A and B are shown apart, each in its own frame.
Chain A
Amino acid sequence: AQSVTQLDSQVPVFEEAPVELRCNYSSSVSVYLFWYVQYPNQGLQLLLKYLSGSTLVKGINGFEAEFNKSQTSFHLRKPSVHISDTAEYFCAVSLGSGGYQKVTFGIGTKLQVIP
């Protein structure tokens, strides 16, 4: 079974500074990887996903992530954060074959942007 580890439960960062949210996964087979954002009392919004191909994935709101198979990582980055980026971010993984499989989520990282 696959699993996801988000190493930081909270990340405070000043506005306009860069940020990296870390995610490592564990799986013995190929996987799909996702990053979702959740604002308070709302559902999940997909930021980006890696299915195959280029290991650098660009998403919405200026976020990007890089799939590193050797390090089993999929860290999320943004070069300059805004106050509006304050939210909870979830890394997720699903099996990379056999159609749509269930998604396993990490525990989430709360990004706090400080003005």
Chain B
Amino acid sequence: GAVVSQHPSRVICKSGTSVKIECRSLDFQATTMFWYRQFPKQSLMLMATSNEGSKATYEQGVEKDKFLINHASLTLSTLTVTSAHPEDSSFYICSATGTGGYTFGSGTRLTVV
């Protein structure tokens, strides 16, 4: 079945630094990828939608300059959290769509100290 690999699974970084999270579709081409954020004890909130080769579409309230999304190929999308602050600490999950429907990555736990 369709598999999406997301890593790192956990990352701790210092405040002010940038962190890159990768999302790869391993056995299918993902025309669209979605990035979600999940706060503790809350649901997943869509941050942005990215299509291969074009700029990402951000949801209202999400800072596009802070959360940089690149979808350079049909199998890879990256989310870079720039100048991270403690309030950016969260669980980030990507989702890729292909012929098999929506497939989610395993998530990345980001802790900013």
Contacts and interface: CB of A to CB of B under 8 A. Distances in A.
Interface of A: 34, 36, 41-46, 49, 90, 94, 100, 102-108
Interface residues of B, number: 22
B44 A105 contact: yes
Given A34-B102, A103-B95, A43 B6 contact: yes
B104 interface: yes
The dominant DSSP class at the B interface is strand
A100 to B, nearest CB: 4
A106 B43 CA distance: 6
Interface stretch (B11-19, B61-69, B77-85, B105-113): B105-113
Nearest to A110: B41
Nearest to A51: B101
Of A36, A100, A104, most B-chain CB atoms within 10 Å: A100
